[in-house]
Amino acid sequence: NQVPQVAVMSTDLADILRFCISPDEFVPLRREIEILERYTEIQRIRLSGAFTLEVDVPEELQNCPVPKMILQPIAENAILHGLEGVENGCIRVSAAQRDGVLEIAVSDNGRGLPEDMKGPFRHRDQERDRGHLGLYNVHTILQKHYGERFGLYLEDGPDGRGAVVRATLPLRRGEESKC
């Protein structure tokens, strides 16, 4: 039907699927962000542009290796739970290094977190985790690779608006970077 959005969504989906089936367990943070941009482009088309994505990751951190597919589930959680019914929604991805730790934050300007989800992400019984399986999986992957010191931490956004999910992992050197 000459709908350019279908072509964009198809291309994005194909890129995401190729990425998912690749044998690499770790990818440069730059590539992880590219896949997140593809995913959010699909969701913006689906939701008629209901939100924007902002990325603020310093160049020196973009080649740091991270486990594959850790950002998409966090953003998906923000879209499904945080931004539902919010006008001019925004998801922001940022990264910083602190004392040998790479901290990647995914924040939104949505409804915020329920009180029982704030703090270090811990496995809760299946009924209470319903709808947050992606967060649980990312937390488990980070702890599996790096130990219990690392994982996800959830908090309210600045001024009590929205939510921030922080993924922490050891700062590793990428092949082409100084991170």
- Tell me what the mean pLDDT of segment 119-148 comes to: 78
How far apart, in whole angstroms, are the C-alpha atoms of residue 35 and residue 39? Answer: 6
Helix (H) or strand (E) holding 169: strand 163-170
Most confident of 107-116, 121-130, 163-172: 163-172
Of the candidates 101, 29, 98, the one whose C-alpha atom is nearest the C-alpha of residue 59 is 29
Question: What's the pLDDT score for residue 103?
Answer: 97
Taking residues 73-101, report their average pLDDT: 92
In tens, the pLDDT along 117-130 reads 888 886 555 434 55
Q: Say which DSSP state 80 is in.
A: I
pLDDT score, position 126: 47
pLDDT, residue 92, reads 97
Average pLDDT of the residues of the chain: 88
pTM, to two decimals:
0.87
